[in-house]
Amino acid sequence: MKTFGLTGGIGMGKSTAADLLRQHGFPVVDSDVIARQLVEPGQAALAEIERLFGKEFIGNDGRLLRDALAQRVFTDADARRKLEEILHPRIRAVWEAQLQTWHAQDCPVAIAVIPLLFETDAARRFDATICVACSANTQRQRLRARGWTERQIEQRIVAQFPAEKKMLLADYVVWTEGPLDLHEAQLDRILRRSP
């Protein structure tokens, strides 16, 4: 089985790439989805977050107040590091287990979407890495369309490696400025023709 780690800056097209790959029958595991599952009510990670950060980050329904926690951790590097220490090992364990399952099922190709692929030193686990990227202007336009403020955008961008660094580290780059069919064609060329 050939494994690909797919990454990119926030708002640069990782979710779109994952959706396109799934539509074409490729098995995809997404770290962002795993992270959301790990903080559902009753999960050990949520209890640990509550112990560390306080009850004010848990809603009356027992769910994590994600926006409030994001505001805290993206203005405090130490708090972000502590949150990452809770979540990253758990996230990695889930996607590692999924890749092992697909390997046992003789899947020819499998993809893990990991926003912090290089930052967490996970890239070495994969046969090849793909970085989806776009211009900084397009990135900011996409994030504004999500309703983010300039401050929120800047906080998220500086919390990751610059897109240029990710592109240099990746084996393949998919440029997401153009129409979806072009995005799709780039992914298809990489996955179907790579040795």
With contact defined as beta carbons under 8 Å apart, do 76 and 117 qualify?
Answer: no
Query: Residue 194: is its pLDDT beyond 70?
Result: no
pLDDT, tens digit, 9 for 90 and up, residues 142-175: 999 999 999 999 988 988 899 999 999 999 999 9
What is the rounded (10 degree) CA torsion for 167, 170, 174, 176? -40
With contact defined as beta carbons under 8 Å apart, do 76 and 70 qualify?
Answer: no
Q: What are the chain's domains?
A: 2-193 (3.40.50.300)
pLDDT, tens digit, 9 for 90 and up, residues 57-110: 999 999 999 999 998 998 899 999 999 999 999 999 999 999 999 999 999 999
With contact defined as beta carbons under 8 Å apart, do 113 and 31 qualify?
Answer: yes
